[in-house]
Amino acid sequence: MKKYIINGGNSLYGEVDIESSKNGLLPILAGTILTEEQCVIHKLPDFLDIKNMINILKHTGMKCTYYGDTIIIDGANANTSELGIELSSPLRSSIYALGAFLGRFKKAKICYPGGCDIGLRPIDLHLRGLKDLGVKIIEQHGNIYCDGSNMKGGKVFLDFPSVGATVNIMLAGVLTEGTTTIYNCAKEPEIVDLQKFLNAMGAKIRGAGSSTISIKGVNKLHKVEWTPIGDRIVAGTYMIACAMCGGKVVLKNAIYEHNQYLINLLMRAGCNVVVKNSNIIVECTKRTKSIQKIETMPYPAFPTDLQPQLMALECISSGNSIIVENLYETRFKHVPELLKMGANIIVKNQTAFISGVDKLYGAEVKASDLRAGAGLILAGLCAKGYTTVNSVEHILRGYENIDKKLQALNADIKLIDE
Ligand code: EPZ
């Protein structure tokens, strides 16, 4: 059982290199299924969700060879369009195999995906979108059988700008005859990076970053060499850490525009954030002020994936704040843990009311999911005394060496393996 032991109270100083975006890389890795040629991907981060996605590629018959943090993926011998429960259930992004299999093989059989326990997370929008491209779908006994032999470009209207549904329809549409248009699509930077990646392989996609994406089907994709974007949620986590602990942190490989909403909030709260030589520098010298009210929404608004971390900050800011979680029904599981540390939070349905306290106190807490775990680490970093964060396997799914990176910033945190 792994756990983090944190002795809180140190200010943070120094540089941190932000790893490649988990949620950007997962669709890109699935996208490599679409070509028989080699894909070279640099700056591959070392965490579990990426390893699980690579296991899916290997199962598909793709040859994966590592050179340090570069991976060469060779799809010449890919030979299956089926995915069982043991590879589907460890991660939500296993659902991307559906779009990729349909793109390459025009058929797929997969199971429902797993992932963080933060809400219902249906895949109805994915399936409806694929049906709009002519895919015949049968859902039976937990399996999804898809026949794409008559697929052709079509118009897809998403009821909600779902990231996953946008990715799946892009993956399914690239090698499909005709033009596919996705209306009300997700605008996240990870979608823009996927468009750039697929276009570098010869796809004809435009519009990513806006609410309409247009995909002109091509016959074939070719080899590519790629370095993914830095992870905006990881970058945001370190920025909030600095706001909570005080100090000065330089973020390398982070993109200012991708975190603009958070940066504005931090500046309003009393931090100083500047960009210098393409690094983001966060400085915080006094107690932060509460942000008053924030709602999680699709990009470019405030991301749900930073909600637990922001809540940790609000717990120790001066004043009252309200956080509304609009995306997931059960993404407040960090609240009872923060209460153990002395926070003052009341939750009513999807809304948390927070009164800032002068200090949090170390306690034994449990990470219920990836981002909740990150929020608890941040709370531990600024708390008085020792905090133990249990169930860190969730955190290891999406943060690369967070203990070592925080240690390099002067934090007292250890990963213990018992
Ligand atoms: C992606 O999940 C991210 N995961 C999530 O990050 C992130 O929280 C989410 O986007 C929102 O930004 C990956 O990229 C791997 P959605 P995804 O489809 O694609 C509802 C993290 O911590 N919905 O945009 O699953 C859904 O229930 C993770 O890194 C449907 O109703 O998110 C949710 O309320 C957690 N039907 C909302 O839409 C569908 O078919 C947004 O989901 C699909 C989604």
DSSP assignment of 257-279? GGGHHHHHHHHHTT-EEEEETTE
Q: What pLDDT, on a 0 to 100 scale, did the predictor assign at position 205?
A: 98
271 catalytic per annotation = no
Q: How far apart are the first and last CA of the chain?
A: 5
Q: From residue 131, how far is each of 47, 173, 291 by CA, in Å?
A: 34, 12, 43
What residue's CA is closest to ligand 1, atom 34?
327
| Cα 156 from Cα 166, distance rounded (Å) | 10
Peptide bond preceding 300: is omega within 30 degrees of 0, i.e. cis? yes
Q: What pLDDT, on a 0 to 100 scale, did the predictor assign at position 9?
A: 97
Q: What pLDDT, on a 0 to 100 scale, did the predictor assign at position 197?
A: 98
Q: Which atom of ligand 1 is nearest to the CA of 329?
A: 34
Q: How far is the CA of 159 from the centre of ligand 1 (A)?
A: 13
Q: What pLDDT, on a 0 to 100 scale, did the predictor assign at position 116?
A: 76
What residue's CA is closest to ligand 1, atom 20?
121
Pocket around ligand 1: residues whose beta carbon is below 6 Å from it? Answer: 23, 26, 92-93, 116, 119-126, 160, 162-165, 186, 303-305, 327-328, 370-371, 398
For residue 103, the SS3 value is helix
Q: Which atom of ligand 1 is nearest to the CA of 120?
A: 27
What residue's CA is closest to ligand 1, atom 21?
305
> How do residues 183-204 score in pLDDT, each as one tens digit?
999 999 999 999 999 999 999 9
Q: How far is the CA of 92 from the centre of ligand 1 (A)?
A: 9
Q: What pLDDT, on a 0 to 100 scale, did the predictor assign at position 78?
A: 97
Whether pLDDT at 148 is above 90: yes
Whether pLDDT at 324 is above 90: yes
Choose among 395, 383, 344, 48: nearest CA to 241.
Answer: 383
Q: Where are the alpha helices (DSSP H) in 144-259?
A: 163-173, 189-200, 232-245
> What's the mean pLDDT when you consider all of the chain?
97
Q: Which atom of ligand 1 is nearest to the CA of 186?
A: 24
Whether pLDDT at 357 is above 90: yes
What residue's CA is closest to ligand 1, atom 4?
23
Element (H, E) at 221: none
pTM of the model: 0.98
Which mutation among 112, 160, 182, 329 tests ligand 1's pocket best, with the greatest number of atoms within 8 A of CB?
160
Q: How far is the CA of 184 from the centre of ligand 1 (A)?
A: 15
Q: How far is the CA of 137 from the centre of ligand 1 (A)?
A: 21
Whether pLDDT at 100 is above 80: yes
AA identity, residue 181 = T
Q: What pLDDT, on a 0 to 100 scale, did the predictor assign at position 142?
A: 87
- Please, which residues have CB within 8 angstroms of residue 141's CB and are 6 or more apart in sequence? none
Q: What pLDDT, on a 0 to 100 scale, did the predictor assign at position 262?
A: 97
Q: From residue 11, how far is each of 33, 245, 279, 409 by CA, in Å?
A: 45, 5, 20, 8
| Cα 267 from Cα 36, distance rounded (Å) | 48
Whether pLDDT at 285 is above 90: yes
Whether pLDDT at 115 is above 80: no
Q: What pLDDT, on a 0 to 100 scale, did the predictor assign at position 58?
A: 98
Q: What mean pLDDT do residues 385-390 have?
A: 98
Angle at 291 between CA 286 and CA 294, to 5 degrees: 150
What residue's CA is closest to ligand 1, atom 6?
305
Q: How far is the CA of 74 from the centre of ligand 1 (A)?
A: 29
Q: How far is the CA of 95 from the centre of ligand 1 (A)?
A: 11
Domains of the chain: 2-18+230-417 (3.65.10.10), 22-226 (3.65.10.10)
Whether pLDDT at 242 is above 90: yes
Of 39, 111, 116, 245, the catalytic one is 116
| Cα 344 from Cα 357, distance rounded (Å) | 7
Choose among 25, 48, 376: nearest CA to 230.
Answer: 25
Q: Which atom of ligand 1 is nearest to the CA of 124?
A: 40
Whether pLDDT at 118 is above 90: no
Which mutation among 20, 91, 121 tests ligand 1's pocket best, with the greatest number of atoms within 8 A of CB?
121
Task: Report, in angstroms and rounded to the nearest whole number, the Rg of the chain calculated over CA atoms.
Answer: 21
Q: How far is the CA of 19 from the centre of ligand 1 (A)?
A: 21
Which mutation among 21, 47, 162 tests ligand 1's pocket best, with the greatest number of atoms within 8 A of CB?
162
Q: What mean pLDDT do residues 157-182 have?
A: 98
| Cα 335 from Cα 339, distance rounded (Å) | 6
Beta strands at 320-324 and 351-355: parallel, antiparallel or unpaired: antiparallel
> Predicted confidence band at 121 (pLDDT cuts at 50, 70, 90)?
confident
> How do residues 19-74 score in pLDDT, each as one tens digit?
999 999 999 999 999 999 999 999 999 989 999 999 999 999 999 999 999 999 99
